Every structure is written in C-alpha cells, then in structure tokens.
Structure 1
Amino acid sequence: MSFDAPSPAPRVRPSTVSLAVNLLFAAAALELINIILSAVYAGKIADASRKALEGTSQANSNPTLSTVIGVVVGLIILVLLVVLAIYVGKGKQIARILTWVLGGLALCCTIGTFGLSALGEAGWNEARKNDPDLPTWQEYNKALYADVPGWYQPVTTIVSILMVVAILVAIILLALPASHPYFRAPQQEWEPPVPGTPGGDDLPPPPPPPAGPAP
C-alpha cells in the first residue's frame, strides 16, 4: 500500500518580483552602456591626460590602468546583475539577499564617487603647491574631455544614476510583503487517499459499527 503526496501547486510570481527582475536586467543593460562608452573613449581620454600632465611631476601616471580596472569591475557588476535577475525570478532566497547587498554597495559607490571627486580636487590643489606646473583642477578636467563628445560626461553620469536607482527600486520591491511568499520553500501537504482513487483501493475497509444491545 502506497500513499502519494500531491505535488505542490505552481507558484505564481508576484508583480513586485517581476518588476524587480526587469529592473535588474535594465540595470545590467545600463552598466553595459557605461562599459562600452568607457572602452570607446578610453584612448582619447588617456592621451589627453598625458598631454595635460606632460612636463609635470604627474607625467608618469597611467590613466589607462584606471580605465581598465573600471571596465573589469563593470563587467563583474554586469554579470552579477544578470545572474541575480535570473535567480530572483526563480524565487531563490539567496539571490534576493544578495540583491539587497549589491544595492547597498551600489549606493555607497555612487556616494563615494562624488566624495572621491571632492577629495581628488583637494589632493590636486595640494600637489600644485609642490609643482606649480600642474594645471588647475578645472583646467585638467577640461583638457581631459576635450577630445570626446560633449554629451559623454552627462550621459555617463545619468546612466550611472539610473542604474543605481533601478537597483534600489528592485531591492525595495523585493522587501515588500507581497514578495515574501514567493521566496518561501513550498511545503507539501499530505492528504489521505480515498477509495476509488489511485492508491485508495488498497485501503482496508472501515470497521463495522459497534453492535447495540439486543432488543
């Protein structure tokens, strides 16, 4: 005699999770745009940096290295976003947790970028005290992007902000109560079979009712 547990009903993905998945894919696409733009104009920016720093104490700096590191980091982020989107869509709890972690890191990196820009200007001004041949921070940045299209900086900035917003909205959607059940492990509920159904014909007949007192 065997009792077959009924298979659990298929889970229906909530709209909050579906939107979060789409936002993660959108963030990956935005990161790809940033990588392509960085790779296309990296050479021109590096050449402009060398010209601007020629004859100064910073002439031996390697701007290409920082660009390569940025592209590699961007590719890692791109792959992570795609993988997270796939497994969040499948209802994997670990993917949801990693999405929260990645979203927090993305926010910190964005805020840190603006902070590093301010620190970079302060450090540059200190370096000019020891090397007056260095251009001012504003002159250096103007020369750095002189040979790239005027839309390059605004577009890369907007794309980065949109990517962070997409990730942050995704982690908020995954934290909403409507998303919780989709990430819970399905539980099988056993129901005893009844006669006339597969497995139910093997059941023993019910016991006879107790005999009452003789009249």
Structure 2
Amino acid sequence: MSDVSIPEPARPRPATVTAAAAIMIFMGAAGLVNAVVGLAAIGGVVDRFRDAAEATGASQSDIDGLAGVAWGTVIAGAVLSVLFAALLIVLGVGNLQGRNGARIATWIVSGLGLLCGCCGLLAVISQSALSWNISTDDQTQDLTQALTDAYPGWWIGLNGVVSAGQALGYLVVALLLALPASHPFFRRGTEPATVTPPTTPPVPTAPPPLPEVRNSDWQPPGRP
C-alpha cells in the first residue's frame, strides 16, 4: 500500500504583516506622487529663477549651470522614487506571501530608508532656516539666493512632510515585521506529513475440502 502525503494547512497571515505590507505599498505610491509633483513644479521654479537671476548681473553660463542643477536634482529624485516604489511593492507582496527573504530584504531597505529620511529632513530644516551663503562673491550669493526664493512656499513644507513620513514609515514597517506575532508566518514549512494507512487484514478463505472417502472392499478384522 503506497503512502499518502497530506499537504500542510495554509498559515494564517497575522495583522502585523498585512499592516506592514500596506504601509510599504502606500509609501511607494506616495513617493511616485511626490516625484510627479516635483517634476510638474520645477519648470516654474526655473523660469522664476531665470527672471530673478538676470537682475544679479550673472553670466548666462552661471545661470544655466544652476538651473541645470535644479532640474537634475528633481529628475534624480524622481528616478529614485520610481525605483524605490517598485522595490517596496515587490517586497510588500513577498511579505504577504510569507517569504522570509523578503522580510530580511525589507529590514535592510528600511534601515537605508530611515537614514535617507533623516538626512532629507535635516536638509529641509537647514534649507528653511539658513540662507545660501556659500561664497564670498556677492554675485554668486545673490544667484544662489535667487534659486532658493524661486521655489514655492509649499515646497519646503511638502518635502519636510515626505522626509518625516518616510523615516517614520520605514521604522514602523521594520518593527511590525520584527514583532513575535509575525515570526510564525515566515517560518519555513515542514515537510508534508506522511501517513501510512492501516493494513487491511486478509480476507479469510474457506478451508480446503476434506479428502473424499471412497468405499472399498476392505473390512476391519472380525473380533474373536
């Protein structure tokens, strides 16, 4: 009789894993929205900067160079947002499926994301609190200040919220996946249980027929 393999029952997904994956997908989508907003706004920023920069007497090459830096910064941020969004969505789906490799990769990405979010928040705070005083040349200082003033008032606030939310989101995701309630879902399943069915006792068969006794001429000897 062959063995019968019973598949392992599906593991219930804890709420901590579902919440972590949902936050990751939301963060990826929010990063894409922020990138689109930045690309839509940078054109007006550069136009206002060029208008203000002409009054400083700076050369056209200096103006074009600083405008290129502004464009390059936004484009680079948009590319990184797309890459991180795709990565977060892939890892989120992997966590929903209980893949331990996805959970480990999420912890690594969360550490890097937390560091980047903190650095971005510090940069936003510095930009809002300080002026561009990177050169003793008054013309260069006026040019860089003109670029700062060209950004809309909501720009710094939006980037500050995004950076703070990014840092907090990565921290929460890492903690949710590290909670004890999440561990059983990521444990590698055991081999399917093998059950040997009981052996069926043999069916009793009829006893063999008795040998047939035939009559013969033999008679027992007579008694005296």
Q: TM-score, normalised by structure 2?
A: 0.74
| Counterpart check, 1:56 vs 2:63 | no
- The 8 Å contact of residues 20 and 174 in structure 1, kept in 2 or not, is answered as yes
Structure 2 partner of 1:20: 20
Tell me the secondary structure at the aligned position of residue 125 of structure 1: coil
- How big is the alpha-carbon RMSD for the aligned residues of Structure 1 and Structure 2? 2.9
Structure 1 partner of 2:173: 170
Structure 2 partner of 1:104: 111
Measure, in 2, the Cα distance between the counterparts of 1:106 and 1:53.
36
C-alpha change, 1:36 and 1:194, in structure 2 (3 Å) is same
**Offset from partner CA, 1:83-137 (integer Å, 9 cap, x none):** 1111110011111111111111111112222444649x9894232x034453286
Structure 2 partner of 1:30: 30
Which of 69, 81, 85 aligns to 1:74? It is 81
Structure 1 partner of 2:207: none
Deviation of 1:174 (Å): 0.1
Deviation of 1:162 (Å): 2.0
* Aligned residues with identical type, % of pairs: 31
C-alpha change, 1:67 and 1:185, in structure 2 (3 Å) is same
- The 8 Å contact of residues 25 and 81 in structure 1, kept in 2 or not, is answered as yes
Tell me the secondary structure at the aligned position of residue 134 of structure 1: helix
Measure, in 1, the Cα distance between the counterparts of 2:104 and 2:11.
20
Structure 2 regions of 5+ residues with no counterpart? 203-224
Structure 1 regions of 5+ residues with no counterpart? 206-215
Q: How many residues align?
A: 194
Measure, in 2, the Cα distance between the counterparts of 1:92 and 1:49.
49
- The 8 Å contact of residues 31 and 85 in structure 2, kept in 1 or not, is answered as yes
Measure, in 1, the Cα distance between the counterparts of 2:141 and 2:51.
11
Measure, in 2, the Cα distance between the counterparts of 1:154 and 1:123.
16
Structure 1 partner of 2:218: none
Which of 139, 143, 150 aligns to 1:144? It is 150
Deviation of 1:4 (Å): 2.2
- The 8 Å contact of residues 91 and 183 in structure 1, kept in 2 or not, is answered as yes
Residue type of the partner of 2:134?
Answer: E
C-alpha change, 1:112 and 1:160, in structure 2 (3 Å) is closer
Measure, in 2, the Cα distance between the counterparts of 1:18 and 1:163.
19
Measure, in 1, the Cα distance between the counterparts of 2:29 and 2:161.
14
| Counterpart check, 1:181 vs 2:181 | no
Deviation of 1:140 (Å): 4.3
Deviation of 1:34 (Å): 0.6
Q: TM-score, normalised by structure 1?
A: 0.77
- The 8 Å contact of residues 27 and 164 in structure 1, kept in 2 or not, is answered as no
- The 8 Å contact of residues 14 and 182 in structure 1, kept in 2 or not, is answered as yes
